[in-house]
Structure 1
Amino acid sequence: MIITGLIVGLVLGFVVQRGRFCVTGAFRDLTLTGNTRWFSALIVLIAVHSIGLFLLNSFGVITLEAAPFPWLASIVGGLIFGWAMVYAGGCATGTYYRAGEGLVGSWFALIFYALFSAVMKLGPLAGFTEGIRGITLDNGSLQASTGISPWVFVAIIAAIAIWLTVHHARKLKTPMATLPPRKTGLAHLLTEKRWNPFATAVVIGIIATIAWPLSAATGRNSGLGITTPSANLVGYLTTGDTQLVDWGVMLVIGILVGSFIAAKASGEFRVRVPDKGTIIKSIIGGIGMGVGAAIAGGCTVGNAMVSTAQFEYQGWVSMVFMIVGAGIAAKVSIKPKKSQAAAPAAESRTV
């Protein structure tokens, strides 16, 4: 039943909003500040998801199908998406949960992300997308190209994830100051307490694992995904074709509603209208995310969380070039602002 997609989406939307889990910041910080905390949390998520997926595959619950490696599309799409998500102010899930919080800029980014995903996958540019993604190399995963059991790679990434978790736990010995709690028990934990990024990553990894067999049971042999479901939602709204409404469409609807519920429960929902420049950047970013994700075959969810967990080259190569694209966009759009802001301060100190 595709209704399970809505349930998973509700839970995922709640978790990513409360955990503030957005890959944009993780990729941006790598190049701007060298901070690896959020990127390390992403590695933990991939490790948890990888363990879950290969366990399910081993027991025959799901079937992980081998696919060729669309190398050119992964590079080009990854660069475009990485650059665009900085301008949009969030990755795919980040844009969804920020839209649920009431950020009008994210509403624009989300609308144009979904619209141009549809243009690239279902509309007039679908042929271009299919063509560039048709330039492939055989053996699209580490296990397929090396002949090594995937459990070797699972063990390696799990060990890296454990090391990163311990490393960052040692660096955070001093707890951050917080306001006195207004709630107690589970209510405090779910709607008030600041969530640890590594704990959030583990929860998302578990949700992603559960999502796969629930989706496969409806005939959609895939797990979490944002781009194609967003495109299908636009396709349904413009054509009325009910066949486009599948488990994935219910998932993204659930993410939006779940993040709204989380924002309301935590007191973080507020309609915020940005200036004209921010709205224009959000629209440009949304367009770029739709184009880039369609070409790359996935966003930061489909590629950087799901495809990577299967050790597919598409996921890892796309993620690397998303980081590169985000770094370029961050240095171009963020650093000048900082330097401009610092200039008046410097002048005031010399008076």
Structure 2
Amino acid sequence: MISGLVIGIIFGFFLKRGRFCPTGTIRDVRLEGYTYNLLLILALIATEGLLYHLMISAGLVPMPKLKGFPLISVITGSFIFGFGAILTNGCIVSTLVKTGDGRITGIISAITFMIGAAFAKQGALKPVTQALASKALVNDTLYQNIPAPAGIFAAIAIPLYIVMFRYYKTHKPKFSLPKQYSGLRHLLCEKIWSKEIIVVLCGILMAAGFYFSNRTGRNGGFGITTPLLSWFNVIANNNYSLNWASMLVVGIILGSFITAFISGEFTLVGTNAITVVKTMVGSIMMGIGAVWAQGCLIGNGLTGTAQLSVRAWTGLLFISLGIWTGTQLLLMRKDA
């Protein structure tokens, strides 16, 4: 399971070095009108999906095992998750990055997220979760009905790469900040990597996650909610049922910490009471929502979508709607 830790460290490094937040990327479509950001999300999924399905064709990983899903539960949970991510100023993977670079809000968010998820999955809200899970069941068979999925993802990825390359060339900063370091140290410790590079690298890394996870007997890729619950159960119930993804979430925190430390950016950052309350409420919403949706923005929105899971694409859509609704109600001011 060491590979889960290493890949998590690299993922945390990428997110920190590129200042890349999946929630923020989707949020700014509504907040700033950056519709280009949708291309970034799709490019990440297309990169991951292309490599994942090539690995299936080569016999390196098994075909996905997609089960039927409760439509109402996934829609409700995804929307709640997206709205909660606005209150928390980032989804749960951003929480792990914040925890690693020393922000107190990250630690608070991680703890309350795990509590919310535990309430929904194995605590007081378990009956509600079970009731939702029995309603409006939908077969997840899209993958079985699509020929040559790798070719489809390639057909999507290539034009997206062309658009991103042109956008990158025409939107390069006209000036650069003074450099403290040079060479490789500047690249790794100081330079902010472009979003275009980050989404491609993250897509490649997340595809690799399928391979290394499968080597441990786990048929799946990146996930955050269940792995964090596994650590919650270690602490609360002395249950050591850890797997590859359990190490992944630890690696993301370490990757963020290492990046912040070598860049001289690590510092314990406090907060205020209002931010604490919003973070706790938003994180509990994300925890409950992720359980009901059977995945978060990473597990559904950026991993299951590469598997052509209808549940995951439904989740990504309603997480985005939750983010945009939260943005409209909480962040955007109406003209007087």
CA distance in 1, matches of 2:69, 2:159: 25
Q: Where in structure 2 are the equivalents of 1:156-235 lying within 5 Å?
A: 156-172=155-171, 174-235=172-233
Residues 21-48 of structure 1, C-alpha deviations (whole Å, 9 max, x = no match)? 2111112111222103433222111011
SS of the counterpart of 2:270?
coil
What's the TM-score once normalised by structure 2's chain length?
A: 0.93
Q: Which amino acid aligns with 2:42?
A: I
How many residue pairs get matched? 335
CA distance in 2, matches of 1:313, 1:93: 22
Conservation of the 8 A alpha-carbon contact between 1:25 and 1:38: no
Conservation of the 8 A alpha-carbon contact between 2:168 and 2:196: no
User: Structure 1 stretch 293-302 or stretch 260-269: which is displaced more?
Assistant: 260-269
Q: Which amino acid aligns with 1:282?
A: T
- 1:167/1:128 Cα in 2 relative to 1: closer, same or farther (>3 Å)? farther
Question: Please, what is the CA RMSD of the aligned residues?
Answer: 2.0
Structure 1 segments unaligned to the other structure (5+ residues): 344-351
The aligned residue for residue 67 of structure 1 is 67
What's the TM-score once normalised by structure 1's chain length?
A: 0.89
The aligned residue for residue 143 of structure 1 is 143
Alpha-carbon offset, residue 165 of structure 1: 1.3
SS of the counterpart of 1:273?
coil
The aligned residue for residue 280 of structure 1 is 277
CA distance in 1, matches of 2:194, 2:90: 19
Alpha-carbon offset, residue 138 of structure 1: 4.6
The aligned residue for residue 119 of structure 1 is 119
Kindly indicate whether residue 267 of structure 2 is the aligned counterpart of residue 270 of structure 1. yes
CA distance in 1, matches of 2:36, 2:257: 26
Kindly indicate whether residue 95 of structure 2 is the aligned counterpart of residue 98 of structure 1. no
Q: Identity over aligned residues, as a percent? A: 33
Structure 2 segments unaligned to the other structure (5+ residues): none
Kindly indicate whether residue 300 of structure 2 is the aligned counterpart of residue 335 of structure 1. no
Conservation of the 8 A alpha-carbon contact between 1:122 and 1:235: no
CA distance in 2, matches of 1:27, 1:7: 27
The aligned residue for residue 50 of structure 2 is 51
Alpha-carbon offset, residue 169 of structure 1: 2.5
Conservation of the 8 A alpha-carbon contact between 2:19 and 2:192: no
CA distance in 2, matches of 1:147, 1:335: 40
Alpha-carbon offset, residue 273 of structure 1: 1.2
Alpha-carbon offset, residue 132 of structure 1: 2.1
Kindly indicate whether residue 242 of structure 2 is the aligned counterpart of residue 245 of structure 1. yes
Alpha-carbon offset, residue 164 of structure 1: 3.6
Following superposition, which runs of at least 4 residues in structure 1 exceed 6 angstroms of deviation? none
SS of the counterpart of 2:179?
coil
SS of the counterpart of 1:301?
helix
Conservation of the 8 A alpha-carbon contact between 1:38 and 1:197: no
Alpha-carbon offset, residue 153 of structure 1: 3.0
Residues 53-94 of structure 1, C-alpha deviations (whole Å, 9 max, x = no match)? 101111222112232243212211110000000101111211
- 1:325/1:230 Cα in 2 relative to 1: closer, same or farther (>3 Å)? same
Q: Which amino acid aligns with 2:33?
A: G
Kindly indicate whether residue 22 of structure 2 is the aligned counterpart of residue 23 of structure 1. yes
CA distance in 1, matches of 2:150, 2:90: 33
- 1:160/1:287 Cα in 2 relative to 1: closer, same or farther (>3 Å)? farther
The aligned residue for residue 349 of structure 1 is none
CA distance in 1, matches of 2:138, 2:276: 42
CA distance in 2, matches of 1:167, 1:247: 38
